[in-house]
Structure 1
Amino acid sequence: MELAMSNNNPDKFDPPKHEEILRVLGKAFWSIVEHYALNQREQAILLGIKENRQRLNTLKKEVQIPDDPDKILRVAHLVGIHKNLRILFPQNRVVAYGWFKTKRDLFDGLSAMEYIAEDPMNSLPRLFSVRRLLDQLRVAG
């Protein structure tokens, strides 16, 4: 995302517009969905929406996410997870993209995706906890 220079002061930058943030996050979400081979149930859980094939297909076709602060936060955490995995496994995309669905002792034998999906009402805090765990692993690495 490029920052535009302010017309009033060349030393200041205008923050990105809400629509631009949504566009970038929509593109990022649907790219991550492809990389991690997430099915529609998993997509809905990560977005915090009801599983509705038609709605998900429309969002995917239009490369969008719902315009809602909760959904924006969810996708931001997912982008953070993706970034961490690419940093932790820079030479092995197969491992990076498989990590999210690989069962781990860290999640009591569940994959990160299963851990998030296990309690849909708490999927946002669980998504956040997976991101924080990866943040810590990245920093410690």
Structure 2
Amino acid sequence: MLINLFAYWQITTDEQLSLLGLAKDKQKTLTHERDKLKRASVLLDIHKSLRLLFPHNRELVYGWMTQPNRAFNGATPVQIIDERGMVGLYMTWCGLIWMCRGTGRHGF
């Protein structure tokens, strides 16, 4: 499922590795197995939230992760997750949850 999602998001292999907490250098390991599973779960939840928020706009659902966002000072969600790791992943996910609940913050 994640491989298909990454294809829809049109993100690079390096970005995919970053989102999953995997090192680009095979000599380094960034995360433990539990962390990888949590990351996968949150990524799928992000996709679910996007589908709930934009049920009639597949282009936005699949393009949102790679589009600059005011809430992130013009950075993309993928860049935020790459730079901040799990914190960035949760920032992205929580922003979408707030939007789903109708309490979205400026920029999302």
User: How far did 1:126 drift?
Assistant: 0.7
Deviation sequence 1:22-71 (CA, Å, 0-9, x none): xxxxxx21121111011111011011011259xxxxxxxxxxxx981000
**RMSD of the TM alignment (CA)?**
1.9
1:47 matches 2:20: yes
Q: Which has the higher contact order (CA 8 A, sep 6+)?
A: 2
Is this contact kept in 2: 1:33–1:43, CA < 8 A?
yes
Aligned to 1:131: 93
Is this contact kept in 2: 1:46–1:74, CA < 8 A?
yes
Identity, in percent, stands at: 27
Q: Distance in 2 between matches of 1:36 and 1:134?
A: 16
Is this contact kept in 1: 2:11–2:66, CA < 8 A?
no
Structure showing greater radius of gyration is 1
- Total equivalences in the alignment: 99
Q: Which consecutive residues of structure 1, in runs of 5 or more, have no partner in the other structure? A: 1-27, 54-65
Is this contact kept in 2: 1:47–1:74, CA < 8 A?
yes
Q: Distance in 2 between matches of 1:46 and 1:106?
A: 19
Q: Which consecutive residues of structure 2, in runs of 5 or more, have no partner in the other structure? A: 104-108
- Report the TM-score, using the length of structure 2 for normalisation: 0.84
Aligned to 1:75: 40
- Report the TM-score, using the length of structure 1 for normalisation: 0.65
Is this contact kept in 2: 1:103–1:109, CA < 8 A?
yes
